[in-house]
Amino acid sequence: MTIAAMTDTPAPRHEAITPGLTFLLALACGLVAANIYYAQPLIEPISTELGLPLAVAGLIVTMTQIGYVTGLLLLVPLGDLIENRRLICTVIGVGALALVAAACSTRPLPFLAAALFTGLGSVAVQIMIPYAAHLAPEATRGRVVGNVSTGLMIGIMLARPVSSAITAASSWHVVFAASAAVMVVLALVLHRALPRRAPVARLHYGQLLLSMGHLMRTTPVLRRRALYQAALFGAFSLFWTVIPLLLASPAFGLSQRGIALFALVGVSGVIAAPLAGRIADRGYGKIATMVAMLAVALAFLITHIAEQGSALALALLVVAAILVDFGVQGNVVIGFRAIFVLGPEFRSRLNGLYMATFFAAGALGSAVGGWAFVHGGWALASWIGLALPAAALLYLATE
């Protein structure tokens, strides 16, 4: 089986990506990606109301990430087969239905099932990013992908403080209900505004999925970039799963509003995405990758400087949050740039494999983080978090 299993329909000249379309895709990516992260700072109130034990409360986040990984493997490759605008809007619609189900849940199993399908519907983001790369010329592809990814990162960062603030003012149910309404409006806008992009497929769906194993085996750049990001994203998910539990613990005693303010500082890490895109366009991806890994490792190290509960410890946690987000967001864009130059005819499948690999690590990081915090507090969780970027740095040294 050859990698070049299909070719793209040539894009008409008027469909080249414009600043307005870039902004719309960035906004859409942010709004959709936020659905994966709304529950992260709400683990305590959701688990309490649903009756989930704290030791397994990480499942609230993990189930969403499992759904996301499933969508990356089963839905995102369809971007190489199905007209992209229709696919994007349909997947967003699935997410909207899942959000309604989450908003109406009062028991653990229905909520966890809704979380699974929320993750599945959120993979529309990973159809939009290769779509943007398809519309962008080669010389500025890294910049365009970085700009669209900036919207994604802002959505991820703002999801935590927004959901915390809404929950503090009303209920976590309102968070999911409001997002469902936003998804319906967004799907309608995108269906009207996005240009068509219809790949000329030579494979059936089953063959398309089977070809992904061949791509993983024969594309060393994909494997390496996926494993780099898997280590960093596992640390990221562990950090943001455990931090709300730590801040709400007796050591810090922060309220839901306080946790919302803390989560807001992570938004500053979003500047890494456009910077990383420009650096990758200039050929300095390896150096930027090393800086990203060092930033995440340093984030976990500095949290051990001060005694837990002190003002200095809280300040260092703020710095750690910025460093974790900066490193993870920068590295993911460098990875996008590296794999998107490999060929437009299988770009969606490459992206699905890339994202699925590191989101699987993220799901594991969330689950391990909750367990580690219950059994060994922040000390155990943070040392596990530190081990991940350290392993990535060792792997980078073999490049």
Q: What is the pLDDT of residues 235-287, one digit of tens each?
A: 998 998 899 889 989 999 988 788 878 877 766 766 666 676 677 667 777 88
Asked if 17 and 135 touch (Cβ cutoff 8 Å), the reply is: yes
On whether the CB atoms of residues 257 and 311 are closer than 8 A, the answer is no
Q: Is the pLDDT of residue 2 over 50?
A: no
| Structure letter (DSSP) for residue 345 | G
The mean of the pLDDT values for the chain is: 86
Q: What is the DSSP-derived secondary structure letter of residue 342? A: T
What's the maximum distance between 2 C-alpha atoms anywhere in the chain? 61
The confidence score (pLDDT) of residue 352 equals 82
- What percentage of residues in the chain have a pLDDT greater than 90? 45
Half-sphere exposure of 156 (CA within 13 A, CB side): 21
SS3 83: coil
For residue 4, pLDDT over 50 is answered with no
Q: Lowest-confidence range among 41-50, 69-78, 108-117, 196-205? A: 196-205
Question: Taking a C-beta distance cutoff of 8 angstroms, is the pair 8, 129 a contact?
Answer: no
- Residue 243's nearest CA partner among 225, 261, 229 is 261
pLDDT value, residue 13: 40
Indicate the range of 103-117, 261-275, 332-346 predicted with least confidence.
Answer: 261-275
> What is the arithmetic mean of pLDDT over 101-112?
93
pLDDT reported for residue 101: 96
With tokens 């895109």, the residue in question is: 277
Q: Domain 17-396 sits in which CATH superfamily? A: MFS general substrate transporter like domains (1.20.1250.20)
pLDDT of 23-53, one tens digit each? 999 999 999 999 998 998 888 889 889 988 7
pLDDT confidence of residue 206: 85
